[in-house]
Amino acid sequence: MAPRPLDYESINENVKKTQYAVRGELYLRASELQKEGKKIIFTNVGNPHALGQKPLTFPRQVIALCQAPFLLDDPNVGLLFPADAIARAKHYLSLTSGGLGAYSDSRGLIGIRKEIAEFIERRDGYPSDPELVFLTDGASKGVMQMLNTIIGSNKDGILVPVPQYPLYSAAITLFGGSLVPYFLEEEANWGLDVNNLRQAIAGARSRGITVKAMVIINPGNPTGQCLSRTNIQELLQFCYQENLALFADEVYQQNIYQDERPFISAKKVLFDMGPPISKELQLISFHTVSKGYWGECGQRGGYFEMTNLSPQTVDEIYKVSSISLSMNVSGQIFLGLMVNPPKPGDISYLKFSMERYEELIISSSNHNDSFLMIDCEVFIFTYVTVINMHCYHCSKAVLESLRRRAQIMTDGFNSCRNVVCNFTEGAMYSFPQIRLPPRAIEAAKKAGKVPDVFYCLKLLEATGISTVPGSGFGQKEGVFHLRTTILPAEEDMPAIMASFKKFNDGFMEQYEDYRGYSRM
């Protein structure tokens, strides 16, 4: 009997070849162990709310009113929701053709695209056209849409950093293109050498591959490095010289844990460079509500902005977007709220700032509830005074906590036998190198596993810590890593790192032929 159309033998070969390590073998095994009752710490994916980060109140209030607009007609709505949340909900509902249950324009609601364009202009100091901003169900959908647009055959190549977020390798495989890796330098804190780019593109062209675009992830995933202005200038100049489009994945722009290299967008650097490059280089920039202090992964809100694309190409991208009719409207509203949050003078501004910067300042949630329900100038004055005092002493505590967690994790890894780790400058991840002894590599081969998969599975079974092996992101031959988020609660981090150290040092003791295995 001939295979049926959806039998394994008949399905798209590109689907079979596609791999996505973040939800791969380790994640599936962790889910099995969880079902068996084992406590699992899922550090395999940047999922802030799943690891305890609390949602911001103001956007949830606005979305609640948008989802249940009949509440706006209740005479007591002002007792439950602040006036600015009510006003913002009415504003967003007025942009729709029938509330959150109605399709929007395939590019997204024009009012929200205007808010995003204004945010970009404030951030970069250069105009942004809302007609060139498309909203998507998370940044990943935007990346996939643009890769699908630019890849026409297996001879079309995309330069991707290695280690890389496996969305890129998976999507390039799925769309039938060729991934062209360029290696980041671990010894230089995952820095980028333009010579590596030149070698990568020359090698690809020698194989008959037309390299059409380059991907940068800034801040980096999984490596956590932040690009300097000089680095970005070099990359832009390289793309211009080689006639490449640049895909700038900037979803972690709020997650910066050092002061030497603040986030600078690729668009700002491009426009600072001036003509002719600023008028000609094609740039696609991506952002999302899933990261930063929002962490709203489940809301699936993202956007991309196009720079220097021809009107005909933009029309074709719109045509493909129209196939899906529209992205989810609640995700669009979250985008609007992210780029246009409460401002000084708004009734929700201080509470929003407190939650943004100072997780758990006030231990009793009753104080917060009272603020929403009591219209009393004396109370508000007292509350504001308390918040301001805390703000004075604890400015930006959420990001500061993430910075401390990054340091705790880095120090913890570097205290372990045969483990070396660069400091996480940005994003949400740590990417330590695991110096596996030859006997461990041999044991992995006998078990039919890639060596870092073998190590990560042993770690999972022993500790419940679910990570992602470095082989899922790409790495140099004979070098092994794992990726973990820095998102577990700060108070849990010492215990997690102690558990890791106990496992790792025992693993090394088991497989080393002698003590003092090289850390070089």
Mean pLDDT for the stretch of residues 451-472: 92
pLDDT of residue 384: 40
288 within domain boundaries: no
48 within domain boundaries: no
Mean pLDDT for the stretch of residues 151-171: 92
| Residue 371 pLDDT > 60 | no
Q: Strand, helix or coil at 303?
A: strand
Which of 313, 307, 248, 315 is CA-nearest to residue 281? 307
305 within domain boundaries: no
Same domain, 78 and 34: no
Q: Are 23 and 468 in contact (CB under 8 A)?
A: no
Q: Are 22 and 469 in contact (CB under 8 A)?
A: no
Question: 473: burial class by Cβ within 10 Å (0-12, 13-18, 19+)?
Answer: buried
Q: Are 56 and 350 in contact (CB under 8 A)?
A: no
pLDDT of residue 25: 80
| Highest mean pLDDT out of 55-59, 271-275, 384-388 | 271-275
Same domain, 376 and 507: yes
Question: Which residues contact residue 320 at a Cβ distance below 8 angstroms, ignoring those fewer than 6 apart?
Answer: 145, 148, 149
pLDDT of residue 396: 54
pLDDT of residue 378: 34
The structure tokens listed for 75 are: 């005479």
pLDDT digits (tens, 9 = 90+) for 406-458: 899 999 999 999 999 999 888 888 999 999 999 999 999 999 999 999 999 99
| Residue 356 pLDDT > 80 | no
The structure tokens listed for 96 are: 């729709």
Same domain, 30 and 83: no
Can you tell me the distance from the alpha carbon of 190 to that of 168, in angstroms, rounded to the nearest whole number? 18
Give the mean pLDDT of the chain. Answer: 86
Q: Are 162 and 183 in contact (CB under 8 A)?
A: yes
* Phi, psi dihedrals of residue 459, rounded to the nearest 5°: -60, -45
The structure tokens listed for 126 are: 């250069």
Can you tell me the distance from the alpha carbon of 155 to that of 266, in angstroms, rounded to the nearest whole number? 27
Task: Please tell me the pTM assigned to this model.
Answer: 0.84
The structure tokens listed for 166 are: 């496996």
What domain count does the chain have?
3
Same domain, 505 and 388: yes
89 within domain boundaries: yes
pLDDT digits (tens, 9 = 90+) for 336-349: 999 999 999 999 99
Mean pLDDT for the stretch of residues 67-80: 94
432 within domain boundaries: yes
pLDDT digits (tens, 9 = 90+) for 3-34: 877 778 877 888 877 777 667 788 888 888 88
Can you tell me the distance from the alpha carbon of 283 to that of 244, in angstroms, rounded to the nearest whole number? 9
139 within domain boundaries: no
pLDDT of residue 398: 65
Same domain, 389 and 483: yes
360: left (phi over 0), alpha (psi -120 to 50) or beta: left
H helices present in 305-450, as ranges: 311-323, 329-339, 349-357, 365-373, 377-393, 397-414, 438-446
Q: What CATH number does residue 74 fall under?
A: 1.10.287
Question: Which residues contact residue 149 at a Cβ distance below 8 angstroms, ignoring those fewer than 6 apart?
Answer: 313, 316, 317, 320
Q: Are 254 and 293 in contact (CB under 8 A)?
A: yes
| Peptide bond between residue 161 and the one before it cis (omega within 30 degrees of 0) | no
Which of 251, 290, 249, 305 is CA-nearest to residue 134? 305
196 within domain boundaries: yes
Mean pLDDT for the stretch of residues 277-281: 97
| Residue 51 pLDDT > 80 | no
Which of 320, 284, 323 is CA-nearest to residue 304? 284
| Residue 460 pLDDT > 60 | yes
pLDDT digits (tens, 9 = 90+) for 240-253: 999 999 999 999 89
Same domain, 83 and 16: no
Can you tell me the distance from the alpha carbon of 331 to that of 326, in angstroms, rounded to the nearest whole number? 11
| Residue 171 pLDDT > 50 | yes
What is the residue type of 372? L
Same domain, 34 and 66: no
Which of 275, 286, 280, 185 is CA-nearest to residue 242? 280
425 within domain boundaries: yes
Same domain, 519 and 392: yes
The structure tokens listed for 256 are: 């910066």
The structure tokens listed for 184 are: 């980041």
Q: What's the first-to-final CA gap in the chain, in angstroms?
A: 57
Q: What CATH number does residue 212 fall under?
A: 3.40.640.10
DSSP letter string over 69-80? GGGGGSTTHHHH
| Residue 358 pLDDT > 60 | no
Residue 466 DSSP class: E
Dump strand ranges (E) for 67-209: 133-136, 156-162, 178-183
Same domain, 390 and 506: yes
Q: Are 458 and 503 in contact (CB under 8 A)?
A: yes
Q: Are 124 and 265 in contact (CB under 8 A)?
A: yes
* Phi, psi dihedrals of residue 463, rounded to the nearest 5°: -120, -20
| Residue 204 pLDDT > 90 | yes
Q: What CATH number does residue 358 fall under?
A: 3.90.1150.10
Same domain, 73 and 33: no
Same domain, 441 and 482: yes
Q: What percent of the chain shows pLDDT beyond 70?
A: 90
Same domain, 268 and 401: no
pLDDT of residue 397: 59
Domain that holds residue 78: 57-95
Q: Strand, helix or coil at 198?
A: helix
Q: Are 298 and 49 in contact (CB under 8 A)?
A: yes
pLDDT of residue 21: 63
